[in-house]
Amino acid sequence: MDFVAIDFETATSKFTSACSLGFCVVEDNKIVKRKEIYIRPVPFEFNEYNIKIHGIEPYMVENKPTFDEYWNDLKPYLNNKTVIAHNAIFDVGVLCAMLDLFGIEYPKFKYLCTVKLSQKAYPELSSHKLNNLCDALGIKFHHHQAYDDAYACAMVMLRILEDYSLDNLDEVEECFEMEIGRVYPGCHLKCKKNKKKQSVRK
């Protein structure tokens, strides 16, 4: 299966304050690229709480490009791809908020949340937070560093594919009866843990 796992870190509680993006590209179930970029938030504001979580301080990004300056390089990794994120409502939400902030048209992609997916794949676990999930699965990484969080998310996805002998997104959707999220120009349809039941007309 081909997909890209993403993880954003933000400077404040606002979705428009992305200060870091990590992504991990998987082709044919193999990780082929890992990368992290630092982003200058607009406006340039940081909360101490966020800094304590991810360790990114203002001086580390003050001279970095803003999100729109990165976009032409980032778009090919997302457009017409399958995107994976752990707590995707946050990461895809940040992506869409950043695109809205700069008036950039949404790319087209399908996406899946590995929180929701892992809850179905491993219901016996007491917690499906990324650090706890990875501990249970034997995946080692540094939490709240976008580079490693994206890697960990990708590894979780690969583990589920292996454990359930699944080959593609359609099989994942059918096996776990989930509703795949979709983003395309002008629209964001959220990923859902349970597929909507179709009403039967008599």
Residue that has been written with the tokens 């002008």 in this structure: 186
Domains assigned to the chain: 3-189 (3.30.420.10)
Nearest CA-CA partner of 90 in 29, 187, 186, 21: 21
The letter for the amino acid at 108 is: K
> In the predicted model, is pLDDT for residue 142 greater than 90?
no
The letter for the amino acid at 115 is: V
How many Å separate Cα 55 from the centre of its chain? Answer: 19
Mean pLDDT (the chain) is 95
Cβ(131)–Cβ(189) below 8 Å:
no
> In the predicted model, is pLDDT for residue 201 greater than 50?
no
Q: Which two tokens stand for residue 200?
A: 């039967």
Q: How far apart are CA 82 and CA 104, in angstroms?
A: 20
Q: What is the pLDDT of residues 51-74, one digit of tens each?
A: 999 999 999 999 999 999 999 999
Model's pTM, two decimal places?
0.94
**E strands, the chain, where?**
3-10, 18-27, 30-38, 81-85, 109-113, 181-184, 187-189
Q: How far apart are CA 167 and CA 11, in angstroms?
A: 37
Q: What whole-number percentage of the chain has pLDDT above 70?
A: 97
Q: What is the pLDDT of residues 111-133, one digit of tens each?
A: 999 999 999 999 999 999 999 99
Q: What is the pLDDT of residues 28-49, one digit of tens each?
A: 999 999 999 999 999 999 999 9
